[in-house]
Amino acid sequence: MSDLEQGDNGEPQAARQETRSWLERYRGLLFFLLVVAVLSSVVVLQTLSAGPRSPLLESLTPAPPPQATATPSPLRVYVSGAVQKPDVYTLLPGSIVKDAILAAGGADADADLDRINLAYPLGDGQQVYVPRQGEGSLPDRLQPAPASILQPASSRVNINAAGQAELETLPGIGPALATRILDYRQTHGSFQSIDEIVNVAGIGDALLEKIRDLITVD
């Protein structure tokens, strides 16, 4: 009877020792798996609580308004004197005297355009007076400020004799283009006509038309 009791009692004790030995061997792995399971549960709960963003809300969110940009105001200019249709004309921002004369139907046959700076930039409320040939000096009220539209032919820039500073007074001619004009004169000699200035690199037909009435080769 004693041997049977020892045998029956020995098997559970061996099983418990084997289980304890297995737990001690894989204790680290079991702890790692437990931590992973807890972290996974936390992530799942946070995802479910946040929920997906409604596409309807996104579509209802107003877009930011576009930035407002200032629109230049049109110019109202009174054109009078030797023109076809003297009157007040509305011109685009950046217009010059030549644009105002064209708006008035162009100059009369006896207009003295050599006395006018056709490239002078206009301002709102300005008056453009086109003198006639042989007409004397104009009243002060016709002189715009700060500079005059009227420009005697003698004040034109001689592109064959002007220096760097004088060339830079022309609209659209900066230091670089003025230097190129001087270099061109030194290499090719004097300009035979105003139109030859387009042979200078950087000066095209558009710039020539802008300064045509401001330059001379005499």
pLDDT for res 12: 61
Look at 2-16, 104-118, 176-190 and tell me which has the smallest mean pLDDT: 2-16
More confident residue, 24 or 129: 129
Q: What is the mean pLDDT of the chain?
A: 77
pLDDT for res 28: 72
pLDDT for res 145: 38
Q: Which CATH number fits domain 156-216: 3.40.109.10, 3.40.50.620, 3.90.1200.10, 1.10.150.320?
A: 1.10.150.320
Question: What does the alpha-carbon distance between residue 153 and residue 155 come to, in Å, rounded to a whole number?
Answer: 5
Q: Which CATH number fits domain 75-152: 3.10.560, 2.30.30, 2.60.40, 3.40.30?
A: 3.10.560
Residues 6+ apart with CB under 8 A from 30: 23
Mean pLDDT of 50-60: 51
Give ranges for CATH 1.10.150.320 in the chain.
Answer: 156-216
pLDDT for res 19: 65
The answer to whether the beta carbons of residues 167 and 157 sit under 8 Å apart is yes
Residues 6+ apart with CB under 8 A from 210: 96, 119, 171, 172
Look up residue 156 and give its two tokens. Answer: 């034109």
Look up residue 13 and give its two tokens. Answer: 């004790």
Give ranges for CATH 3.10.560 in the chain.
Answer: 75-152
- Max distance between CA atoms of the chain, in angstroms, equals 155
Mean pLDDT of 70-74: 75
Work out the end-to-end distance of the chain between its first and last CA atoms, rounded to an integer number of angstroms.
145
Question: What does the alpha-carbon distance between residue 142 and residue 130 come to, in Å, rounded to a whole number?
Answer: 10
Question: What does the alpha-carbon distance between residue 116 and residue 151 come to, in Å, rounded to a whole number?
Answer: 5
The answer to whether the beta carbons of residues 79 and 58 sit under 8 Å apart is no
Question: What does the alpha-carbon distance between residue 109 and residue 132 come to, in Å, rounded to a whole number?
Answer: 9
Question: What does the alpha-carbon distance between residue 37 and residue 43 come to, in Å, rounded to a whole number?
Answer: 10
> With bands split at pLDDT 50, 70 and 90, how would you rate the model's confidence at 72?
confident
pLDDT for res 187: 92
Predicted TM-score (pTM) of the model is: 0.39
Question: Between β-strands 87-91 and 75-81, what pairing exists: parallel, antiparallel or unpaired?
Answer: antiparallel
Residue 130's Cβ-count burial label (10 Å; 0-12, 13-18, 19+) is: buried
Look up residue 119 and give its two tokens. Answer: 């490239």
Segment 93-150, tens digit of pLDDT:
888 999 999 999 999 999 888 888 888 888 888 888 888 888 766 554 444 433 445 5
